[in-house]
Amino acid sequence: MAHGPDSSSLAEVLDRILDKGVVVDVWARVSLVGIEILTVEARVVVASVDTYLHYAEEMTKIEQAAIGAAPGVPA
Amino acid sequence: MSEDTGNNKERGIYVYCMIKAPAQKKSFGNMGFGGEDVYTLEYRDFAPVVSTAAVKNYEVNDDEVELHRKVVEHVMKEHDVIPVAYGMAFKNKKLLLFAMSAGYKAMRKAMSEVTNKVELGVKVLLPKEDASWDGKEKCKSDFMEALKNKSAQSKELKLFSDRLVMNAAFLVDRDKIEDFSDEMGKLENKYANLKIQYSGPWPPYNFVDIQILSKRKGGFR
């Protein structure tokens, strides 16, 4: 009997919420003045390298902890 | 990070997600940071869903991440959403609308792709005691092939552990979630010895990748 998807674990939430979707540079959010405004651009990219490097290590730890905590499957 | 982005008490606008502009400005209730009203602003045919909030670095902690998630989950019940990453607080409305103008075309495209769809997550894991199983590739292609047939788009994600056989996100029509779940049921039966994590429905985080960047260096978030 099929069941629906489970609601989220924190690791799953973090995996999405931190650096995916629309991301706006901090300077574009808080401190643009005058001519700087002209230099803002949107780009659509496959992977965000900057944030990825920033969070990859931390995320891996969280994810591994989450898997470690999940019950094992009887052989 | 320099002082002007630090934890000062300046009030600004925190953005949770974007929706198609409703006919009238809409309030979702006092569910924002600090119990503030969550409401819509407008930029052309889009409405950022926002609340008044501090302009600061939003620390990654369970309660605040959970609050952001709950707001978006609530909005998603009635609207298609373009998800926005955690911590996107703007100094003022002008800067928010400016960012939206920079991202407008990309958001239009993203919205057309995610309209009436949600994201579902699937992870397939080997049991702890059997990490050297040699059926991994076959299993992964079984899952991907079957689930691609039930989804509009799919995206393979990082295999961050040796025990992970597959890690992927799928963009699925709202009215085909049940179909997708049925297919998952079949796969779960076929691979009953593996641990399967099936999660969602999510805002389509893995199918929207829009970065609005200034050329200034030194702070991505």
Q: Are B17 and B94 contained in the same domain?
A: yes
Best of B205, B206, B207, B217 to disrupt the A interface by mutation (most A CBs within 10 Å)?
B205
Q: What average pLDDT does the segment A59-73 reach?
A: 51
Q: Is residue B157 part of a domain?
A: yes
Asked whether residue B58 falls in the same domain as residue B148, the answer is: no
pLDDT at site B161: 85
- For residue range B144-203, what is the model confidence (pLDDT) as tens digits? 999 999 999 999 998 888 889 999 999 999 999 999 999 999 999 999 999 999 999 999
Q: Is it the case that residue B17 has pLDDT exceeding 60?
A: yes
In a domain, B215, yes or no: no
- Does one domain contain both B150 and B195? yes
Contact: A8, B62; criterion CB under 8 Å: no
Residues of B in contact with A11 (CB under 8 A): none
Residues B35 and B83 grouped into a single domain: yes
Which residue, B63, B86, B114, sits at the end of a domain? B114
Please state the separation of Cα B155 from the chain's center in Å. Answer: 13
A1-22 confidence digits (pLDDT tens): 457 888 768 888 998 999 899 9
Beta bridge partners of B53: B12
Of B11-15, B67-71, B134-138, which gets the smallest average pLDDT? B134-138
Residues of the domain holding B96? 11-114
Same domain? B89 vs B41:
yes
Phi, psi of A46 (to 5 degrees): -75, -45
**First-to-final CA distance of chain A:** 21
Residue B35 falls inside a structural domain: yes
pLDDT on residue B90: 94
A50 vs B contacts (CB less than 8 Å): 220
Same domain, B104 and B126: no
Give the residue among B124, B127, B129, B38 at the shortest CA–CA distance from B75: B38
B residues 25-54 near A, CB within 8 Å?
none
Structural domain contains residue B1: no
| End position of a domain, from candidates B114, B144, B162 | B114
Looking at the structure, do residues B102 and B148 belong to the same domain, yes or no? no
Q: Is residue B219 part of a domain?
A: no
Residue B212: the pLDDT is 84
pTM, to two decimals: 0.82
State whether B148 and B66 are in the same domain.
no
Q: CATH no. for residue B169?
A: 3.30.70.100
Is residue B5 included in any domain, yes or no? no
Residue B30 has pLDDT above 60, yes or no: yes
Q: What is the mean pLDDT of residues B95-113?
A: 90
* Domain final residue pick, B53, B80, B114: B114
Cβ separation of A42 and B106 shorter than 8 Å?
Answer: yes
With 60 as the cut, is the pLDDT of residue A59 above it?
A: no
Residues B108 and B126 in one domain: no
Encode pLDDT of B75-96 as tens digits: 999 999 999 999 999 999 988 9
Partners of A72 on chain B (C-beta within 8 Å) are: 127-129, 195
Do B82 and B70 share a domain, yes or no? yes
Residue B49's pLDDT band (cuts 50, 70, 90): very high
Q: What is the pLDDT of residues B161-175, one digit of tens each?
A: 888 999 999 999 999
Q: How many CB atoms lie within 10 A of CB B207?
A: 24
- Claim to verify: residue B77 and residue B47 sit in the same structural domain: yes
Interface contact B212-A42, CB threshold 8 A:
yes
Across the interface, whether the CB atoms of A45 and B200 are under 8 A apart is answered: no
Please state, in angstroms and as integers, the Cα–Cα distance from residue B117 to each residue in A70, B74, B77, B133, B175, following that order.
Answer: 29, 15, 11, 35, 8
Q: Domain for residue B221, yes or no? A: no
Which residue in B88, B41, B29 sits closest to A21, CA to CA? B88
Total structural domains in chain B?
Answer: 2
- B66 and B99 together in one domain: yes
Residue B141 lies in a domain: yes
Q: Tell me the per-residue pLDDT of A13-51, one tens digit each, with 9 for 90 and over.
A: 998 999 899 998 887 888 766 445 545 555 544 334 444
